[in-house]
Amino acid sequence: MAAKIKRSLKILLPLLLGVFLVWYSLSKVSLNELLVYAKNADYTYIIMGMFLGFLSHLSRAYRWRFQLEPMGYNIKFGNSVMAVFATYLINYTIPRAGEVARASIITNYEGVPFEKGFGTIVAERIADMLVMLGIMTITLFLQFDFIYSFLVERFNPVKIAVAMVVGVLLMLFFFKLLKKSKSKLAEKIKNFVNGLIEGSLSIFKMKKKWPFIFHTLFIWGMYVLMFYVTSFAMKELQGISLGAILIGFISASFSIAATNGGIGSYPLAIYAAFSLFSIPEQPSIAFGWIMWASQTLMIIVFGGLSLLYLPIFNRKKQVDS
């Protein structure tokens, strides 16, 4: 019973949070005002942003094949593409259910054992996480003066330095205790950390590691570029700085984990980032909705078509089996 309640809460809480954040963002910018921004937007740039997002998903599908090939599975590119789009669509309903569905699709249509397919998806997420950390590091270096002055204005530099030193010491102390501990929780944490390290290093042991790394960088390059290109759709954001784009992109990326597909949280995350650069509230939230809605529309269309076409695309294999 407790497990059933826990599963229900995992589904309901992100949905409820999303509904609340939609209401909150619309309290900042009315629906009529959003429609005005949407009407005045330059859809050439919005379509270009959608195309760049589409390319990133194709690249993700192609990259996945590099991970499966060493295990003896040469899956069809069409199945890989449709599985990726289905993943994004399903994640709008139940958080992280898309990854399970993606592995299941390849199991059903390509005969890849579920645990192997899911393992490659976990390793893929590790690679994505490393690139995201790289983007954050680059942003920190490019905007160091701005971030430093922003923190100094609001916080005591001595307290920040002390907090960082204390944080590092606590982490070292925690890992020392973890290493000595034999408890089940400690073993789970150690296995998780070891799995992350092993998954990261497995990329470099891959036969096609350089194409894999290229596609990983290409995927995230397209993500950043689609964010930047779409900003040209609004005249209120003309001349926006690279720092605002990068910090806005990072903030928006994390918001996707907060609610199903970033519903409600995505526009507010962009507003929170853009406000640091004194960009007005209304165009920031409007841009967030335009950005989210355009990419979501693409996912709904191609994800829906993928789920419908998968059985047709694989009908010969089904008949043979």
H or E stretch at 285: helix 281-313
- Residue 261 buriedness (CB in 10 A; 0-12 / 13-18 / 19+): buried
| 147 inside domain | yes
Tokens of 135: 């983007």
Which residue in this structure is represented by tokens 């959608």? 50
Query: Domain of 73?
Result: 24-320
Task: Decide if 18 is inside a domain.
Answer: no
143 part of a folded domain? yes
Domain assignment of residue 5, yes or no: no
Q: Is residue 70 part of a domain?
A: yes
- Domains held by the chain: number: 1
3 in a structural domain: no
Contact yes or no for 255/262 (Cβ under 8 A): yes
Q: What is the pLDDT along the chain (321 residues), one digit of tens a residue?
A: 565 665 555 556 666 665 666 666 666 677 788 889 999 999 999 999 999 999 999 999 999 998 888 878 889 999 999 999 999 988 887 767 788 889 899 998 998 888 888 888 888 888 898 899 999 888 888 887 766 666 666 566 667 677 778 888 888 887 787 777 777 777 777 776 665 566 556 666 677 888 999 999 999 999 999 999 999 999 999 888 888 999 999 999 988 877 777 888 899 999 989 988 889 989 999 999 999 999 999 999 999 999 999 988 888 765 555
Contact 186, 174 (CB under 8 A): no
Would you say residue 162 lies in a domain? yes
- Tell me if 17 is assigned to some domain: no
